[in-house]
């Protein structure tokens, strides 16, 4: 893959717009946002690439799953991010489901040392329904996601129980993102059942 495959068409404006979308998504868990379209390497959705270009830089150790390794040259060229082991990463790029507990959760004194996982999923707005509650939500919100593993709710509960430690997750599909900050509680939503 050529490292010159394009990044943002307008790096300053596009990264600022994506950063605002990520901040808004973190502040309003489960709300889906559209990010700047770009032409990423074929294995990356536009949203995945946009969030990566926005959050990664030379001071951001990043872990790549096996599927994302095909974009390694593009990532290091555009972001300058060093590739790191999962236990040393502050940012993780996963194109397939990963275990949340494989990444740094920070410490009670320094929870900001935890990792943020960029997880590419098949779709946002359709698929399994999850009910989110917690800070940023005046009432429970429903987020539909196609592509989370069957045990995700239990795994998330263990992550949430670590608060103020724990990882944050940014879900990406197509040109859309939604965020799951560690503060949010998640349960499976069962429509049509009492």
- What is the CATH number for 45? 3.40.50.11310
For residues 124 and 30, what is the distance between their CA atoms, to the nearest angstrom?
A: 10
In this predicted structure, the answer to whether residue 84 has a pLDDT above a threshold of 90 is yes
Q: pLDDT band at 164, cuts 50/70/90?
A: very high
pTM: 0.93
The arithmetic mean of pLDDT across residues 77-88, rounded, is: 93
Residue 141 lies in a domain: yes
Note the pLDDT of residue 38. 85
Rounded Cα gap, residues 26 and 132, in angstroms = 12
DSSP state of 101: G
Is residue 6 in some structural domain? Answer: no
Task: Give me 133's structure tokens.
Answer: 């509650």
**How far separated are the first and last CA of the chain, in Å rounded?**
52
Give the number of other Cβ atoms within 10 Å of residue 138's Cβ: 5
Residues 6+ positions from 121 with CB-CB distance below 8 Å: 127, 145, 146, 147, 148, 171, 172, 173
Q: Give tens-digit pLDDT for 53-82.
A: 999 999 999 999 999 999 999 999 988 899
User: What is the per-residue pLDDT for 52?
Assistant: 95
**pLDDT score at 10:** 80
Confidence of residue 3 (pLDDT cuts 50, 70, 90): low
For residues 49 and 39, the answer to whether their CB atoms sit within 8 Å is: no
Structural domain that includes position 182: 11-188
Residue 191 — very low, low, confident or very high, per pLDDT cuts 50/70/90?
low
Residue 100 lies in a domain: yes
Question: Is residue 193 one of the residues assigned to a domain?
Answer: no
Chain mean pLDDT for the chain = 92
pLDDT confidence of residue 91? 98
């Amino acid at each position: 893959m050529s490292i010159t495959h394009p990044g943002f068409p307008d790096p300053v404006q596009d990264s600022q717009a994506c950063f605002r979308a990520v901040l808004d998504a973190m502040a309003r868990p489960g709300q889906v946002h559209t990010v700047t379209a770009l032409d990423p390497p074929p294995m990356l959705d536009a949203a995945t690439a946009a969030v990566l270009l926005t959050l990664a830089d030379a001071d951001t150790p990043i872990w790549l799953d096996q599927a994302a390794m095909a974009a390694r040259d593009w990532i290091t060229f555009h972001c300058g991010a060093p590739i790191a082991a999962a236990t040393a990463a502050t940012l993780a790029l996963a194109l397939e489901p990963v275990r949340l507990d494989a990444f740094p959760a920070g410490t009670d004194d320094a929870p900001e040392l935890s990792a943020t996982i960029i997880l590419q999923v098949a779709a946002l707005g359709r698929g399994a329904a999850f009910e989110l509650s917690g800070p940023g939500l005046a009432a429970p919100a429903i987020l539909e996601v196609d592509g989370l593993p069957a045990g995700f709710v239990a795994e998330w509960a263990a992550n949430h129980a670590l608060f103020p430690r724990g990882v944050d997750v940014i879900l990406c599909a197509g040109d859309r993102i939604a965020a799951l900050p560690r503060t949010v509680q998640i349960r499976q939503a069962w429509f049509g059942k009492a």
